[in-house]
Structure 1
Amino acid sequence: MLIGEVARYSGVSPRMLRHYDALGLVRPTGRTVGGYREYTDEDVRRIFHVESLRSLGLSLKQIGRALEDPDFTPSALIGDLIRWTEDRLARERELLERLRAVDASVPTGWQDVLRIVELMQGLNSTSAARRQQTVLARPGGTQAPAELLAGAVLAEADPNVAGALRWALARAGGDGVAALAAGTRSGDVGIRRRAVLAIAEMADAPGATALLADALGDPDPTVRGPAALALGRRGVTATVPTLVDMVVGGSNDVEAAEILGTLSQDPECADRITTALAGELAAPTADTATRIRLTQALVELPGPAVRDVLRQLAHDDDHAVARVAAAFVTAERDAGRVSRSDGRS
């Protein structure tokens, strides 16, 4: 076949076929009666081989070596191509995320685009100080897209920068909670924790309560804890087991105890909380520090049942625990005397 026929048959342009010929990659080896060079069936097969290898990303030089060198083994080159392709895809995904972030900001002019790009560059800085400054001093008053801030929140390990990002996200337009939802399902506990901490600061936003409720079932206590604190402040009694665990473990135990005290305003919940705390106090594994935290948590609760427990603890064999309980019993007794005295006067 002559070059025009081969081009129509193979889909490779005549110009590219001439280029292959000039490189010695595919040369027509046949001859017509008139002496013109023509492509044999074997030449056409070689063209298809070249095109197949090009589709894998090989350069023409690499293809020539692959077709001519009998000792050439493809494994190393294919491995390199896989790594190059993965790197290229990562760069393209990053570019796509940047373009989506710019689009989400609804820019009205190129200055808006440049401000968002500057914001992204600042958030991607290797300097924690610069990342924090970028968050706290957004350029030109441009509204940072919630999706961009959410992505930064989930990736940020520095606690100071993370706090600034959560603050900015809570005040950003758009649906920040929805942007964080995927983070609550991550296999990385650090990402789940960062997502829940950010959602907790937007607990009044649509969808936040459901995500925080799901987080109460997380296997990691550092994820459950922030969710329990946020929901407990809103009167969700399902948080009681996690809040009690926080008192036992000493993680945000003072705040957890205060919330348990508030939840105890409901008589049914008060009984449940008192029983749970008393049960932990009686646990054989509870050390002195744990029992002191539990005793202090009981002090936050109302009701005669709690007072009875504290009076018993005032005579506890552990003197440190007994002193804490006795101090409260004495303070309550003195307060009662003052109240009765005021009533007589």
Structure 2
Amino acid sequence: MARLCPGQLHCYYLCMPAIEVSNLSKTYRVYRKREGLLASVRGLFHREYKTVEAVRDVSFSIEPGEMVAFLGPNGAGKTTTLKLLSGLIHPTSGGATVLDYVPWHREHAYRRRFSLVMGQKNQLWWDLPAQESFTLHREIYRIEPTQFNRRRDELVDLLEVRDLISQPVRELSLGERMRMELIAALLHSPDVLLLDEPTIGLDVVSQRRVQEFLKYYQSEHGITVILTSHYMKDVEALCRRAIIINEGEIKHDGPLAEIVDRFSRHKVIQLQFSGSSIPDDLERFGTVFDVHPPRVKVEVPRNRISQVLTTLLADYTIEDVGVLDRPLEEVIAEMFTNGDQADRADVDAADESQPVTAAGND
């Protein structure tokens, strides 16, 4: 790219996607395990392998300042995609650019502009206070001391951990450690933040605190965020757009609000009957649940809603009725119920062998 002045460079990056992925694929060669003692012994001398496609011909783009949910079941290819975008692993085929850099070229300039946070991986030194890890990050990213102090103090105050940064990391709760991980990830002011299950294992209070921080920080600094999470409350609180991946392929890319309309095969009719009881034959309409006489809910196929409502209103005395969408979490779970996940577990096993290190270390 030709050398541009700062103003031109700013306009250039605003006019192009922050992340551009084109036909990206990643294939692993995985040891085929056989059951039984004899098969295990044979495997010591003659190993059989199979090929597993972790990511298959994936394409998408994300604009600067977007916060996008990247959803899918375990082994769907989410973490593999984030590792490709962070440059930790190389693709088998296809391409990607992040901020106009090819991630797996591992240029120093790129590594100073993104950050990866993985809920199940630590980048902080376990036996040292978080403050010491922050100082190490200052050296890795060559942050000017005054800027470092200002950034650290801002993040420490936002996440309310000033009294904790001098404690050894091993003494902190899971929620406290995650807040420290976020501080470490943001000290160098990255333009792109990749979050892989940042609230996994956290209690409800800690989850909400992380959600509120991420929402505020993204709105204030305009960074581009990809979020993977199995907690739909994270997704609904933070993202308007979702990319759904399953078996290595993208199944949906669009507004979060469209997922229920597009994929849910049922709706819920909420009823309140007159009197203190409910009819005992409601199961003829669908699945009856959440029974609190005289209130009850019935899950009904979408294409039968009008017919069922007409019959209910004609046959019973009803004081109140409403039609509800099913929760996003249930709809997404239903999407993956019939998928074959066997090979995806192999992807997880292969992917675990890939190292996760602090950006800036080769």
**Which TM-score applies when normalising by structure 2?**
0.29
Would you tell me which structure has more helix in proportion to its own residues? 1
Higher relative contact order (CA 8 A, sep 6+): 2
**Which TM-score applies when normalising by structure 1?**
0.30
Would you tell me which structure has more strand in proportion to its own residues? 2
Structure with greater Cα Rg: 1
